[in-house]
Chain A
């Protein structure tokens, strides 16, 4: 049963420290998403990649957040320096996006979410 994995599951850190969250997408998926979820804002899309290239990171605070895909099996989200307002659950999701003109069934077009990283910045 293929799953998206995320590490760490929980992270408590102090303001100003660097935080790195990691995600392993489902093997064969070509699209990776990073979301942040808080009670106030709900699920917010931070960034997404297709075939390891960043397509949209407009939801991400550029001065402190960075997202990368060093290879097809690893996506990272880094916060430096972290602030208390960054406290949230960060989800990674992966999916299979077809090439334009290719028809695939519904099950191959969905996002598969990982268990999330709960970040607390004190």
Chain B
């Protein structure tokens, strides 16, 4: 399974754009990159998934360079409610390898 590395914590203010970068140097050809968000006292929930280039949904954007050895989750104009732990995971989309959650990045958004 590809190992991921992401910052332990990040601080931001309301209204700012936040970019969280994840390194996954040994990502395999079949691997997809998935990001989850976890609020206190809740289970993680899916945010976004991608394979290459850029993916955007109503919550976030995911930027993946051509070599796919890293990815950046971009949260536009964060609010206090975006304070959460964000996990970057890499795994086979077909589900034949399980996704491994690392320690994640604790994002604290202040007023």
Contacts and interface: CB of A to CB of B under 8 A. Distances in A.
Interface of A: 4, 31, 33, 35, 42-43, 45, 48, 50, 56, 91, 93, 95, 97-98, 100, 106-107, 109-116
For chain B, the bracket of interface size reads: 20 to 34
| Most chain A CB atoms below 10 A, which of B43, B49, B94, B102 | B43
16 contacts: A31-B95, A42-B102, A45-B98, A45-B101, A97-B95, A106-B49, A106-B93, A109-B32, A110-B34, A110-B46, A110-B49, A111-B44, A113-B45, A114-B43, A115-B42, A116-B41
Contacts of A110: 34, 46, 49
Interface of B: 32, 34, 41-46, 49-50, 87, 93-96, 98-104
B98 A42 contact: no
B96 A33 contact: no
B15 to A, nearest CB: 29
Nearest to A95: B95
Nearest to A99: B94
B34 A91 contact: no
Given A31-B95, A33-B98, A43-B87, 16 more contacts: A42-B103, A43-B44, A45-B98, A56-B98, A93-B43, A98-B94, A106-B49, A106-B93, A109-B32, A110-B49, A111-B46, A111-B99, A112-B45, A113-B45, A114-B43, A115-B42
